[in-house]
Amino acid sequence: MFKQYSMELAGRTLTLDIGRVCAQANGAVLLHYGDTTVLSTATASKEPREGIDFFPLSVEYEEKMYSVGKIPGGFNKREGKASENSVLTSRVIDRPMRPLFPKDYRNDVTLNNLVMSVDPECRPELLAMLGSAIATTISDIPFDGPCATTQVGLVDGEFVINPSQKVWAEGDLQLTVASTSQKVIMIEAGANIVPEDKMIEAIYKAHEVNQSIIAFVNTIVAEVGKEKHSYESCAIPAEMFDAMKQIVTPEEMEVAVFTDDKQTREKNIDEVVAKMKEAFADKEEWLAVLGEAVYQYQKKTVRKMILKDHKRPDGRAIDQIRPLAAEIDLIPRVHGSAMFTRGQTQICDIVTLAPLSEAQKIDGLDENVTTKRYLHHYNFPSYSVGETKPSRGPGRREIGHGALAEKALMPVLPSEKEFPYAIRAVSETFESNGSTSMASTCASCMSLMAAGVPLKAMVAGISCGLVTGDTDDDYIVLTDIQGLEDFFGDMDFKVTGTTEGITAIQMDIKIHGLTRPIVEEAIRRTREARLFIMDTCMKPAIAEPRKTVGEYAPKIIQTQIDPAKIGEVVGQRGKVINSIIEECGVKIDITDDGFVSVCGVEQAGMDKAMKYIHTIVDEFEEGKIYEGTVISIKDFGAFVQFAPGKEGMVHISKIAAERINHVEDVLTLGDVVKCKCMGKDKMGRISFSIKDAL
C-alpha cells in the first residue's frame, strides 16, 4: 500500500514515498527534498554467508548523470566506475549504520541509493544517508534504528543546516553528523580552521536536528514497519570460551598480547592458536570458528586491562604518543618529499607540482565543482603489514584515507593566484600499525613545505580511541591508538588541524554512540597531541615552507592581460598559443579573467614566451624598439613578425639609411631585425623603421 509522509526540515519539505516502488525489496523509500529525488533500498539474503567471520554489508551510492541533465563524458556514454564522491558517500552511509546491525549477523545486506534528480539547493548525498537508514528501519532486516543524519555549513560565523551545494562548497564548514535517539554515532568534517568550541557547538546543533528526524521516522515505523526476521546466530559458544581459558589462562593471554612490537605479538598469538588447535583437534565445529574465538579472547583481555587497570598493550600512558621521527628530502629529483614515523606507522609522502592545466577534471553532479587542483593519493601495499598479496589498485579504504588527508590540508593551501600550480601528494605506506591517515597528513604537510608550497599554517593529525564499560560514565579515551587498540576498541576519532583550529574530523565507532563528554574529551586530547607533534617532531624537520620551488620543479611566471584580448593570444583554433608553446618549450594557462601563467623549466624560454604574450596584447608604442623576424618580402617592403600573430610592415624606404632598389638586397626571410615604431601612417596603420632603430 502506497503511503506518503512529509516533514519540514531546515526550511524545506522532506517527503517520503513508501510502497510506491520496489515492492520486492526488504525495504524501500523514494525521497524528495526540493527537486532532489533519491531512491533508497535495503535487501538481505535469506541465509548467512558461509565461511566468514564478519558482517557482509555493501553500500552503493549511484550517481546518474541524467539527474543533472547530462550525458556522461568520454567515449563510453554509460556510467561506469564509481566516482570518488560516490565512494566517499558510501563510506559515510556505512560507518554509522554498521554498528547498529547485530554483531552475530552474517546475512548479506545491500543498501543501494540511486540519485535520480538533483536540485542544487538540496544535496543528494544527504538524502541517500537518510534513505538508507529509513529503508533499513522499516524493513524486516534486524537493525537497531532508526538513526538520522544532518549536514551543517558555516557562513559568516552562522550555522546553515543542510546547506545547498554552493554553500557546502564555499562555506567554512562541511560537517556531517549521524545520531541515534540518544547519542552521536558518526562525525565527518572538513573545516576552514574552525575552533574546537565552535565545532562542538556545530556537532550538537546537528544532533538536535537529528532528533526531530528520528521522531518523524518512528511514526512511520509504527504504521508501516515490518517485523524483523529471525536469523541464525554466529556467536561463539560460551562453553568454547570456557574451554579456551583452561588451555590458555587469561594471565597467559595477557602476556601474549601486551608488547610494543606488532611482530612479537603476532608470533605469541600464533602459538596460542597452535595450542588451541591441538586441544580442539576432535571438535570440528569449534575449529571452524577458532580464528574468531581467539580474536574475541584477545579483545576481552585488552579491553579489561585498559579499562580496569589503565594498562595499554605497549605499556604507554593513556595520553602518551608513540616515538616520533620526521625527515625531508629523502627522495632525490622529486619536487618535494618527507617521511613521518610514529611507532610502527611510517609514511613517505612525495609532492609533484604542475601547471594548472593538469588539474583533475570532474564530471559529477555538483555544478560548483568541475576541477580539483589539489590531489592527495594514499597507497597501502601489503608489505606495510608484513603480508603478501598482489596489488589491485586502491580500494574504498585507500580512497577514503587519501580524501581525509586531502581535506585536512585544503584550508592551508595558497590560492591559485598566489601559487598557480596543480599539486599532487602521494602517501606511500611503508609500515602500518594504526592511523596511517593521520601520519599521511603530517608527512604531506612537511612534503608540501619542502616542495616550496607556501602553506598558510602547519597541519598535524592524530587519532584517539575508546574503551567503554557497562555504563556511560565507565570509559577510557586513548591518545594515539595503535592497530590492536583500534581493532579491539570502540572508537577511531581522527582530528587534524593547525594551532588555531580544526581542518578535518573523521569519527568511526563500533558501539551505539558517544556521549557529549566523550566527544569533548576526544577533541581536547587530539588538540593537545597535534600541538605536541608539531612542536617536537615536524618543526625540527622543517619549520616553514621553502621560499622557492625545487630545482626539478617547473617554474611559473604570471601576468594579467585584458580579458578581451585572450582571443588574440589563443588565435584561431589555438594557432597562436600553440606556436608560442612549441617555440619556447613551455606550457601556458589563461583564466577567463585574463590571468596568464607560463610554466617551464628553462627561464629563457619562459621569458621569451612572456615577451611574446605582452607583444601580442600591448598596443605598439611610438618610439619603442621591437625585435622581430622577417616573414615576408614584397616589392614595397618587408613584413616582420614580432610575436606569433603580431606583425608589422617596414616600407622599403625605412629599411636602410641609403636608398635601395630591392628589399632582397638587404633582407632575407628569417632575418632577426630590430624595428622602431614610427606611429601611424596616413591610412592609420602602424609603421616601423629598421634604419631608425640602428
Are 215 and 86 members of one domain? Answer: yes
Which phi and psi angles does 477 have, rounded to 5°? -95, 130
Q: Taking the CB of residue 203, how many other CB atoms lie within 10 A of it?
A: 24
- Please indicate, yes or no, if residue 302 is contained in any of the structural domains: yes
pLDDT confidence bin for 111, thresholds 50/70/90: very high
User: Taking 90 as the threshold, does the pLDDT of residue 484 lie above it?
Assistant: no
Average pLDDT (373-381) is 96
Are 22 and 116 members of one domain? Answer: yes
Cα distances (angstroms) measured from residue 357 to each of 311, 353, 421: 53, 11, 9
Largest CA distance in the chain: 116
Are 378 and 523 members of one domain? Answer: yes
Q: How far apart are CA 588 and CA 606, in angstroms?
A: 10
Q: Render pLDDT for 580-617 as a digit per residue (tens, 0 to 9).
A: 999 999 999 898 889 899 999 888 999 999 999 999 99
DSSP state letter for 436: H
Q: How far apart are CA 362 and CA 373, in angstroms?
A: 11
pLDDT confidence bin for 281, thresholds 50/70/90: confident
Average pLDDT (385-409) is 92
DSSP state letter for 297: H
Q: Render pLDDT for 212-243 as a digit per residue (tens, 0 to 9).
A: 999 999 999 999 999 999 998 888 888 898 88
pLDDT of residue 363: 78
Q: Which long-range contacts (CB under 8 A, 24 or more apart) does 265-274 make?
A: 265/313, 265/484, 266/386, 269/294, 269/298, 272/248
Which phi and psi angles does 338 have, rounded to 5°? -160, 150
Q: How far apart are CA 278 and CA 410, in angstroms?
A: 54
CB 306 within 8 A of CB 476: yes
CB 475 within 8 A of CB 469: yes
Closest-CA residue to 690 (of 635, 677, 681):
677
Closest-CA residue to 48 (of 225, 226, 230):
230
Average pLDDT (418-432) is 95
317: which residues sit within 8 A by CB, 6+ positions away? none
Type and span of the H or E element at 241: helix 238-247
pLDDT of residue 309: 85
What DSSP line would sit under 593-612, residue for residue?
TSEEEEEES-HHHHHHHHHH
Are 262 and 287 members of one domain? Answer: yes
Closest-CA residue to 164 (of 359, 367, 326):
367
- Please indicate, yes or no, if residue 567 is contained in any of the structural domains: yes
Closest-CA residue to 115 (of 44, 43, 60, 168):
60
Average pLDDT (199-211) is 98
Are 215 and 251 members of one domain? Answer: no
Q: Render pLDDT for 492-522 as a digit per residue (tens, 0 to 9).
A: 999 999 999 999 999 989 999 999 999 999 9
Helix residue ranges per DSSP H, 315-435: 396-409
Are 138 and 13 members of one domain? Answer: yes
Query: Could you give the 3-state DSSP secondary structure of residue 240?
Result: helix
Q: How far apart are CA 363 and CA 638, in angstroms?
A: 50
Residue type, 169: A
Number of H helices, E strands in the chain: 17, 29
Are 14 and 68 members of one domain? Answer: yes
Q: How far apart are CA 640 and CA 331, in angstroms?
A: 48
- Please indicate, yes or no, if residue 497 is contained in any of the structural domains: no
pLDDT confidence bin for 208, thresholds 50/70/90: very high
Q: Render pLDDT for 548-589 as a digit per residue (tens, 0 to 9).
A: 999 899 999 989 999 999 999 999 989 999 999 999 999 998
pLDDT of residue 291: 86
- Please indicate, yes or no, if residue 401 is contained in any of the structural domains: no
Query: Could you give the 3-state DSSP secondary structure of residue 192?
Result: strand
CA 252 to chain centre: 43
User: Taking 90 as the threshold, does the pLDDT of residue 295 lie above it?
Assistant: no
pLDDT of residue 476: 94
CB 694 within 8 A of CB 657: yes
Are 559 and 657 members of one domain? Answer: no
- Please indicate, yes or no, if residue 395 is contained in any of the structural domains: no
User: Taking 90 as the threshold, does the pLDDT of residue 357 lie above it?
Assistant: no
Are 683 and 569 members of one domain? Answer: no
Are 80 and 173 members of one domain? Answer: yes
- Please indicate, yes or no, if residue 475 is contained in any of the structural domains: yes
Q: What is the mean pLDDT of the chain?
A: 93
Are 93 and 212 members of one domain? Answer: yes
Asked if the peptide bond before residue 146 counts as cis, ω within 30 degrees of 0, the response is yes
Type and span of the H or E element at 583: helix 575-584
pLDDT confidence bin for 466, thresholds 50/70/90: very high
Closest-CA residue to 493 (of 529, 545, 451):
529
Average pLDDT (343-367) is 90
- Please indicate, yes or no, if residue 585 is contained in any of the structural domains: yes
Q: What is the CATH number of the domain that holds 581?
A: 3.30.1370.10
Are 94 and 220 members of one domain? Answer: yes
Q: How far apart are CA 457 and CA 193, in angstroms?
A: 10
Residue type, 682: K
What DSSP line would sit under 255-267, residue for residue?
HHH--S-HHHHHH
Q: Render pLDDT for 531-551 as a digit per residue (tens, 0 to 9).
A: 999 999 999 999 999 999 998
Residue where a domain stops, chosen among 518, 541, 564? 541
Average pLDDT (280-304) is 87
Q: Taking the CB of residue 295, how many other CB atoms lie within 10 A of it?
A: 16
Query: Could you give the 3-state DSSP secondary structure of residue 122?
Result: strand
669: which residues sit within 8 A by CB, 6+ positions away? 630, 631, 632, 633
491-497 β-sheet, strand order: 158-161, 148-155, 173-179, 184-194, 502-509, 491-497, 460-468, 475-479
User: Taking 90 as the threshold, does the pLDDT of residue 113 lie above it?
Assistant: yes
Domain range for 536 is 324-388+412-491+510-541
CB 486 within 8 A of CB 465: yes
pLDDT of residue 260: 78
CB 653 within 8 A of CB 660: no
Orientation of helix 84-97 relative to helix 124-138, angle to 10°: 40
pLDDT of residue 487: 87
Q: What is the CATH number of the domain that holds 244?
A: 1.10.10
Residue where a domain stops, chosen among 224, 258, 293? 224
pLDDT of residue 74: 75
Q: Render pLDDT for 31-82 as a digit per residue (tens, 0 to 9).
A: 999 999 999 999 999 999 988 888 999 999 999 999 999 998 777 888 888 9
Q: What is the CATH number of the domain that holds 435?
A: 3.30.230.70
* Number of domains observed in the structure of the chain: 5
User: Taking 90 as the threshold, does the pLDDT of residue 288 lie above it?
Assistant: no
- Phi-psi group of 239: left, alpha or beta (phi > 0 → left; psi -120 to 50 → alpha; rest → beta): alpha
- Please indicate, yes or no, if residue 213 is contained in any of the structural domains: yes
Q: What is the CATH number of the domain that holds 682?
A: 2.40.50.140
**How many Cα atoms are found within 13 Å in the side-chain-facing hemisphere of 150?**
23
